[in-house]
Copies of this chain bind each other. A is one copy, B any other.
Amino acid sequence: MMEICAALPFRPENPKTRLSGILTEAERTAFADAMLHDVVSALRDAEIPVTILSTAEYACEGASVAVRNEGLNEALNRFLSDSGKPVLIIMSDLPLVTRETILRVVSTEKDIAVVPGTGGGTNILFIRNPKAYRVQYYGYSFKRHLEIAEQLNMTVDVIDSLRMSTDVDEPEDLVELLIHGNGSAKQWLEENGFSLCAENGRVSVKRGETRIV
């Protein structure tokens, strides 16, 4: 396989605020760590070296960490400019990614491969020629990343994967993690009392005996 490097943006301080209705800040920090660990493990299994672009000091086994005091897009675009190899940009809140799913992305024959996040974001972006491409995250970035590729006459693959499109932001997203997960993040949830509840039709999530979603 060609040489690839991965960039993984991460904000260790007060992460996953949309889960603050159900998790304390300390819990969100531990849970975000567990999700990051799952992504790093999948990259390691796929033999893709990863640099965590962190907004603060941070340590993670199996990854190098670079502290970046700039915005997400600025940090990523600097990484792209500096890279001599194809780059895989991957978000930290994708606890369902696996070696196999990542290999589906990087084995594209197109110039760019995009995995949309639910709700129009961009969860994973593979860029064969990183010198030429500039990212623009936030909001409806999936569409923008397609447009940027088109402006550059780059060919694009949109990868169809529930596991990679599932970014965990909201309490509802825990349902998919508890159903399909098999790593640290699912284990963290279980150790902290979360479980599926399939009593009345739709599957929901409870913590202890309290229904969450």
A residues engaging B (CB < 8 A)? 101, 116, 118-120, 138-140, 142-143, 160-165, 175-176, 179-180, 196, 198, 200-203
Whether the pair A162, B116 counts as a contact (CB closer than 8 A) is yes
Q: List 29 A-B contacts (CB under 8 A).
A: A101-B160, A116-B180, A118-B162, A118-B176, A119-B175, A119-B176, A119-B202, A119-B203, A120-B175, A120-B179, A120-B198, A120-B202, A120-B203, A138-B201, A139-B198, A139-B200, A139-B201, A139-B203, A140-B196, A140-B198, A142-B179, A143-B198, A160-B161, A160-B162, A160-B163, A161-B161, A161-B162, A162-B162, A162-B165
List, in ascending order, chain B residues with CB within 8 A of A196's CB.
120, 140
A200 to B162, CA, bound (A): 25
Nearest 8 A/B pairs, CB to CB? A120-B203, A140-B198, A162-B165, A162-B162, A140-B203, A160-B161, A160-B163, A139-B201
Residue of B nearest to A158 (CB): B180
List, in ascending order, chain B residues with CB within 8 A of A119's CB.
175-176, 202-203
Q: How far is the CB of A182 from chain B (nearest CB, A)?
A: 12
List, in ascending order, chain B residues with CB within 8 A of A165's CB.
162
Copies of this chain: 2
A160 to B176, CA, bound (A): 12
A198 to B198, CA, bound (A): 34
Most buried by B among A142, A200, A203: A203
A119 to B201, CA, bound (A): 10
A200 to B179, CA, bound (A): 31
List, in ascending order, chain B residues with CB within 8 A of A138's CB.
201
Q: How far is the CB of A135 from chain B (nearest CB, A)?
A: 16
Residue of B nearest to A161 (CB): B160
List, in ascending order, chain B residues with CB within 8 A of A175's CB.
118-120
Residue of B nearest to A142 (CB): B179
Q: How far is the CB of A211 from chain B (nearest CB, A)?
A: 14
List, in ascending order, chain B residues with CB within 8 A of A180's CB.
116
